[in-house]
Structure 1
Amino acid sequence: MRRTALRRTVQRRTAAGFIALLALLLPTAMPATASPPSGDDVIVLQGAKSAEGIAAGKETTFYAGELMTGDIFRGDIREGKAKRFIDAPEGRMAVGMKADVRNDLLFVAGGSKGKAYVYNTETGDAVKEYDLSPGFINDVTLTPDGAWFTNSAAPELYFIPVSREGKLGKADDVETLKVGGEAGEPLQPNQFGFNGIAAAAEDDDVLIVAHTQNQALYAVDRDTGKSSRIEGPDLKFVDGILVKGDTVWAVQNRANQISRLELCDDLSSFEVEDVITSKHFDIPTTVARFGDTLAAVNAQFMRPASPHEVVLVPAWD
């Protein structure tokens, strides 16, 4: 039987604790005011006071989340515009997200709320809410049979079954995978563990997970939870990741860069092929891809109030 290693655990974090943690992890010496960048390569999330996640929708449509309210913006990279699309119920957060474009669904990680949310991308309606676990539910990836979520406060992954027709699993169908090996070791105080997640392109049974504290990527067997480090240079401040074939784009938030990595066939190692930067990066956290263009969202953690943006950069040299 699959997932014999699945079980539930409990570890508590609060939204206040998350903000305190950000204060420790991110720069505090910031200017008193901040001017928004200008140019066709920047799309302002007008009215957003926080930001974190981004997902590619149909064609050139993207969705971006307001971190602390859970609201969702919808924009178009060709038109260079975005506006608030989903006014989330009070008390939600929006961290990492992925869109199921075939079934018009948007899956959103709920941060310190310990939840996952699903929205209809045609109507903006809230479709379903799942209790995953206390901690910080950080990011999500979609596989042919469901959605996988990370927890930055515990070495666990959470699986929600989803049919190919978009039928969502029930609350008691949610499964918890305890991750073993190096990636499953206890975290140091005030550190994030699991962050970005993606399915390995050639093997649906393997997930690639970014680990912020360890500055590393891990291959995780989704049946057993066994993890193995993907050897390569340290990925300082690694956050969201995106996988296409043997290419990984790894966002490194405080480093203000996205590293483009090439994986070896057996996922045992990677090489850094390119480092993508932009004068408009202001602590990017997650990224979506539209052909040869990447769209990265600026989180601007711990900054004074300023417009939050999506920054467009080339995906390749």
Structure 2
Amino acid sequence: MSSPVPPDQVDTVRGFNRFYTRRLGVLEQHLLNTPFSLTEARVLYELAYREAPLAKEIGAELGIDAGYLSRILQSFDDQGLISRKPSPDDRRQSRIGLTAKGRTTYGRLEQRSQQEIAAMLAGLQPSERSRLVASMTTIERLLRAAPSQGPVLRGPQPGDIGWVVQSHGAFYAAEYGFDTSFEALVAEIAGRFLASHDPRRERCWIAELDGAQAGSLFLVQASDEVAKLRLLLVTPQARGHRLGQRMVQEAICFARQCGYRKVTLWTQSILVAARKIYQDAGFILVATEPHRSFGTDLIGETWELTL
């Protein structure tokens, strides 16, 4: 049974909410001096990071009234920001996606948001920024701790990159007999991302289940037109939640938003579960090559997806 909440704690949280919404400017009629309200920007975000969702899926995720959402989508349609295609499962429902204009519009909004937050943080000392981010991480973790919350995907937080390296090393040693040279490779890839990635065109997803890390995936830039998937992992404890599929779909949506023409990846023939995820996402096997790496004989595979 939950204990009564003291009124002063409720007042403190409400006061923080008022302060923070004013600080981010979300009480203005339009968000970040754009033509969009906060709700409209959230709908654009869902369309950018979901693979052709139904309107009811967006409404359920954001808790938006169906009539209000319908008006937002009609406005987007009138502006040429979205396209609609009948769902093959139910012709009465439409799958919704961003048009090229819609992706460009969302990209500008995302860039402006990044700039606004960066400007806000720039006024703080490095130690103050670290305290602020750590506090925000704590707030998010605690509020997500309710039993009703299922698996989530999020960006990396302090300690996550080290977890990626350790988990890959331990898992592949136990499952496939890889030696420490594999962990060294993972450390090199993850460390390079942590030190110098471009957040506008590169991203890391951390899967979380019951408050603990459960998986990872990186998308990095190979060239102006080609992105590369790296370090896909789902822990044995988190299998059955389709986290691998969700991370790959998130990465594909992000790659499209960034304007990449192709996504490529390198994997091994023995990684049957991962190969199935890539194949189901539309990747095509384009090359194979036997090699000896990580202390064992392997068949490397290159897969590609044209966007």
Q: Which has the higher helix share?
A: 2
Greater RCO, CA 8 A, separation 6+: 1
Normalising by structure 1, we get a TM-score of 0.27
Computing the radius of gyration over CA atoms, which structure comes out larger, 1 or 2?
Answer: 2
Normalising by structure 2, we get a TM-score of 0.28
Q: Which has the higher strand share?
A: 1
